[in-house]
Amino acid sequence: MPNLADLPASPLLNEVRRDGFAFAPADTMRPLLTSSGGLSDWNDFADSWNQLEPDPYLAAKGRFRRRRHATFSALAHGDVTPEPHQPHFQALQYNALQGGIERWFEPIVDTVVHGNSLRTILDFCHAFFGSLAPSVERWHIEVHQFRIEATAGTAGEPTPEGSHRDGVDYVLVLLVNRHNIASGTTTIHAPDGRLLGDFTLTHPLDAALIHDPSVFHGVTPVLPLVADEHAFRDVLVVTFRASPAAAG
């Protein structure tokens, strides 16, 4: 893992500790990521969003959200390790729309799981979130590739469940690409509903870093700028949760 003490990450660490979230523009994220590893396969990594499958749990809206999912684990001072494919689960208290059930999504393909860019992103998250929670011995990590599509007649909904928490400890939302869309503004709220901040992930590697127990987050719907052109928003979401297995 990289030593974040040697990197310009401390302001972001302080923001997350103080406010529960931080916005990191691409100019900040890129050196943080490349200090953890390389992004040599970034073009292939970004292109993999073209192979995502429809979300089958959104019924009629499923065709406007595509995704793949993978699970990893990491010891505090160990490497991030892929785990066997497994379902994504959220309690109803965190996702009233789709919580309480095991959701099986198509797995992230092996070339992405073992590729340079994803490994670099996960190593950065391991170091960053580990610095915020040094007492955690083992992490349960989930990775989601999302593509939100929009048409002239139907807005794309990045967060159809509304402003929410994910039921984890930390979240990274990293923009991979956006094409022909307006809006898609990330909003951060206090538990009482007060707006704490908002920003739009515009450039690849723009990121949000969130302490999930402290704040709620959501993203406004996206609409096409040009009605008859393909319109989409591609993001990578990485969540870190302290594993119960660490108690032993």
What does the alpha-carbon distance between residue 149 and residue 223 come to, in Å, rounded to a whole number?
9
pLDDT at residue number 58 = 65
158 domain-assigned? yes
Boundaries of domain holding 111: 4-237
pLDDT tens per residue across span 200-235: 999 999 999 999 999 999 899 999 999 989 999 999
Number of domains, the chain: 1
Taking residues 19-32, report their average pLDDT: 96
Residue 111 in tokens: 């070339």
216 domain-assigned? yes
Taking residues 103-127, report their average pLDDT: 94
242 domain-assigned? no
84: buried, middle or exposed (CB in 10 Å: 19+, 13-18, 0-12)? exposed
pLDDT tens per residue across span 75-85: 999 999 999 99
What does the alpha-carbon distance between residue 201 and residue 199 come to, in Å, rounded to a whole number?
7
pLDDT at residue number 70 = 95
**CB hemisphere CA count around 113 (13 angstroms):** 18
243 domain-assigned? no
85 domain-assigned? yes
Whose CA is closest to 177, among 148, 150, 209, 208? 148
CATH of the domain at 166: 2.60.120.620
Read off the pTM: 0.90
Taking residues 147-171, report their average pLDDT: 84
23 domain-assigned? yes
pLDDT tens per residue across span 50-78: 999 887 766 544 458 888 999 999 999 99
107 domain-assigned? yes
What does the alpha-carbon distance between residue 243 and residue 26 come to, in Å, rounded to a whole number?
30
What residue type is assigned to position 185 of the chain? T
246 domain-assigned? no
Q: How far is CA 66 from the centre of its chain?
A: 14
